[in-house]
Amino acid sequence: MTTLTDPPKEQFRLSMLLYDTRYRSATIQVIAMIGFMLLAAWLISNTAQNLAALGKPIDFGFFSEPASYDINQRLLDYSSRDTHLRAALIGLLNTLVVAVLGCITATVLGVIIGVLRLSNNWIVARLMTIYVEGFRNVPVLLWIVFIMAILIETLPAPSAFRGDNATASMVLGDSVAVTNRGVYVPEPLFSNSLGNIHLFGESSLRFDISLDLMAVLVVLGAGIWVSNFIRKRADRIQEQTGDRPVTWWQRVAVIVLPTGLLLVLLGFHLGYPELKGFNFSGGTHLRNSLIALWLALSLYTAAFIAEIVRAGIMAISKGQTEAASALGLRSNKIMSLVILPQALRVIIPPLISNYLNLTKNSSLAIAVGYMDITGTLGGITMNQTGRELETILLLMLVYLTISLSISAVMNWYNESVKLKER
């Protein structure tokens, strides 16, 4: 009979946490985690204590107080008797407006400039280089202030349009007034309006949805859908018979005719701006603060996007271009059908971060008095209520939410264009 002795049973000792490589990394991580949490706890408790010592505990009650200040650019109805929450909402919409306008303009400009920078035309390519380097290397705040100063100092004041010997006149058939207070453009009006749907009653988040706009969008959408259907049918016929039926007039007609008919039924007409009292009234007023901010952000970000587009195009091997031209494609077709679709995969990820930058840079709006969310919630509201910590924390949360939303949408788009591996 053999006796088996158990292998010495290894007992867990505390020192093994440090000397045994099996446990060491976990130990270090736990210690680091505890250290981090203590630091965070200390910061929070210190803040809370100091605020309590100052007699200002964290409190969001100010949101339901009347804001008492006016905001010039408001997409929803707002008066100085509305709450701080409503003022923050108006500011948020203003931020979103300039961010969306800026992203679209910057992308269009950036793609054009990026492509032109690779042009074989020496002067065009050099001009684009100057543009990119000029905008990229000067802080965007200076561009914002500079454009605003140009708008204010060079354009005529509304009073210059007045009287018999007016020194300024409206452009585009007396429909658009360009002044140093902004640009007044005609606004769409409906004489047989369907009215609005009013949501959220009298609360701070109330808003109206224009039924006219909804109706136009629905009809327009339906027209585009039918038009796509006609195109697919034409594709099918072409595949079967080799002849492509002429459908362009059908496709245009299904979009234009119903929409036009609806507009006539709704009594669509344009409201022109006219000089009345101190200012132009009627029409849509694009304030120079919006224009300056929008232009500066777009031009600045377009310089970065141009570089991204150029990098994306140069990442596509020259063989692709040569192969496409060997097939007989013209150079603009090569760009739009062969190069750009492949370059998009390289372009989109850095493009996302430029969209995020543009959105965050829009908080420089206060330099020109554009009432974005930093100007309302993080500016006047903070100043009038003295709730620095609360407003800044909320502001950070808002920008975080906007940025994450943009990232999510762009990542989804990136998924849809990336190389499909089969």
Tell me which residues touch other proteins (CB under 8 A): 38, 41-42, 45-46, 49-50, 53-56, 68-72, 79-81, 149, 152-153, 157-159, 180-181, 276-279, 281, 288-289, 366-367, 369, 371, 375, 379-380, 382-386, 388
Find out whether 270 and 261 touch, Cβ atoms under 8 Å.
no
Shortest spacing between CB 91 and other proteins, in angstroms:
12
In this complex, which beta carbon is closest to other proteins, that of residue 81 or of residue 420? 81
Find out whether 182 and 288 touch, Cβ atoms under 8 Å.
yes
- Alpha carbon 310 to chain centroid, angstroms: 22
Shortest spacing between CB 23 and other proteins, in angstroms:
21
In this complex, which beta carbon is closest to other proteins, that of residue 159 or of residue 357? 159
Reported in sequence order, the residue ranges of 107-254 that DSSP labels E, i.e. its strands, are 177-179, 182-185, 187-190, 196-199, 207-210
Shortest spacing between CB 336 and other proteins, in angstroms:
43
In this complex, which beta carbon is closest to other proteins, that of residue 71 or of residue 305? 71
In this complex, which beta carbon is closest to other proteins, that of residue 49 or of residue 317? 49
In this complex, which beta carbon is closest to other proteins, that of residue 289 or of residue 298? 289
Shortest spacing between CB 57 and other proteins, in angstroms:
12
How buried is residue 239: exposed, middle or buried, by Cβ count under 10 Å (0-12/13-18/19+)? exposed
Shortest spacing between CB 402 and other proteins, in angstroms:
22
Picking from 407, 177, 151, 176, the residue whose alpha carbon sits closest to that of residue 296 is 151
- The Cα 336–Cα 230 span in angstroms is 24
In this complex, which beta carbon is closest to other proteins, that of residue 291 or of residue 305? 291
- Alpha carbon 119 to chain centroid, angstroms: 29
Shortest spacing between CB 25 and other proteins, in angstroms:
23
In this complex, which beta carbon is closest to other proteins, that of residue 161 or of residue 304? 161
Shortest spacing between CB 1 and other proteins, in angstroms:
54
Residues 348-367, buried b or exposed e (16+ Cβ, 10 A)?
beebbebbbbbbebbbbbeb
Pairing label, strands 274-276, 279-281: antiparallel
In order, the DSSP letters of 274-332 are EEETTEEESSEEEEHHHHHHHHHHHHHHHHHHHHHHHHHHHTS-HHHHHHHHHTT--HH
